[in-house]
Amino acid sequence: MPILHRPPRNDVRGIGPSWRARLRSTFTYLSLLSHVTSAKTASSIASSIDYRYFVAGGTCAAISHGITTPIDVVKTRMQSNPEKYRNILDTTAHIVKEEGASALVAGIGPTLVGYGIEGALKFGVYEVTKPLVVLAFRELGLSGGGTSTGGGRPGMLPFLLASIMAGAVASLVLVPMESTRIRMVTDPDFANAGLLDGLGRLVEESGLVKTLTVGMGAMLAKQIPYTFGKQVSFDVVAKFLYRNLNVPTSALSSLTKGLRPEYLKWVVSVLAAMVASVMACLLSQPGDVILTETYDGAGSHGHGHGGGGTNAPGGKQRAVGVGGVPKSKGLREVSSTIYVRSRGGKNTDVVRGLSGFFTGLQARFLHVGLIITSQLVIYDLVKQLLGLPASGSH
């Protein structure tokens, strides 16, 4: 009779040596993050927190979003009522004719304040988090924190994680501000309201908690891809340009031969910012449409909202809750509304498919392109004025 050997205890439990090693790495990582009182980690945190990143981020975000407010108004109208507003020029002319030129700067108050704070947090948290994530990766011996590009440069994964965290933190501030701004643009009753007045009215209608959290999923759907596309691509492209433009044998170096170093920084900033604007726009476009539809609170005719509703701009029916308060919709319902939207004035549904998530892309390319290009160039300029190195140059 053969002798039966009992499997090792670890195999019975389904945890072999390789899994034990992974678990140990996981616990080591958690320990690294939790024991921030250690001298090395505390020193890294202290050295990485620099107020100048927050100042530069807030300044560039407020300026770039402020100067592009008219384009954002046009883009928001096109997304909230695509049957009525079909292209940039016609939408702009219609707004000026019907509501006056001042309507093109509707919501500029929430834009300056909200995006100023958001920019400070987004850029600041991103820059502060990068070295901490790199440190964690290197302590664990993970490839993302290694020297994949040589010369002690970290891999891309820490940058990606830092951008995700920065986008999530910024969303907490943007939710109430963006809710107020979109209501000021799309709801005639809010057209003349200021930031504090509009925010106060939203709190009265929906309550403090709902005002601060409604649409958080939609905001994250936009902000995380947006931050990821903007911050990471700007860093990566800037590093690539500096690395190749400074090598005499590189094909790119001949294009900037004889260019003074201070001018080279401008060339790198503008080119990297333009690439970042395209990446951020494409990655965040579906989330931007979802965000507008969520805050607009308007469903297509006959899409399960019953008969109750208040008129939104362009004759759309705004879904309402108790007491006439606009009712927000979940991500699934919003996505379904965008995917299948009824044609204005008809009872038949038009299946728009994935193209519905790219409504207003033409206007947004112009809008986001101007925002990000100007924002990142201003960010680099302010950083250098404050004594920080240009992005990608170190």
Q: Flag whether 208 is in a domain.
A: yes
Pick from 143, 140, 142, 139: nearest CA to 40:
139
Dump pLDDT digits (tens) for 338-358: 777 644 444 455 556 677 777
What range defines the domain where residue 98 resides?
A: 40-298+360-385
Structure token pair of residue 123:
């850029």
Residues whose CB falls within 8 Å of the CB of residue 224, separated by 6 or more in sequence, listed in order: 163, 164, 167, 168, 171, 287
* More confidently predicted of 11 and 181: 181
Dump pLDDT digits (tens) for 293-309: 776 654 333 333 333 33
Band (pLDDT 50/70/90 cuts) for residue 25 is low
Q: Flag whether 327 is in a domain.
A: no
pTM of the model: 0.66
Sign (positive/negative) of CA torsion 279, 372, 225, 41? positive
At 152, the amino acid letter reads G
pLDDT score for 298: 40
Q: Flag whether 6 is in a domain.
A: no
Average confidence (pLDDT) over 270-291 = 89
pLDDT score for 44: 53
Q: Flag whether 90 is in a domain.
A: yes
- Give the Cα separation of 246 and 234 in Å (integer): 18
Residue 296 near residue 185 (C-beta atoms within 8 A): no
3-state secondary structure of 71: helix
Average confidence (pLDDT) over 244-263 = 71
Pick from 65, 71, 51: nearest CA to 376:
65
Domain of residue 48, CATH code: 1.50.40.10
Q: Flag whether 392 is in a domain.
A: no
Mean pLDDT of the chain, nearest integer: 73
In the chain, the DSSP E strands lie at 298-299, 310-311, 317-318, 340-342, 349-351
Q: Flag whether 342 is in a domain.
A: no
Number of structural domains found in the chain: 1
pLDDT score for 314: 35
Q: Flag whether 49 is in a domain.
A: yes
Pick from 263, 245, 281: nearest CA to 372:
281
Q: Flag whether 224 is in a domain.
A: yes
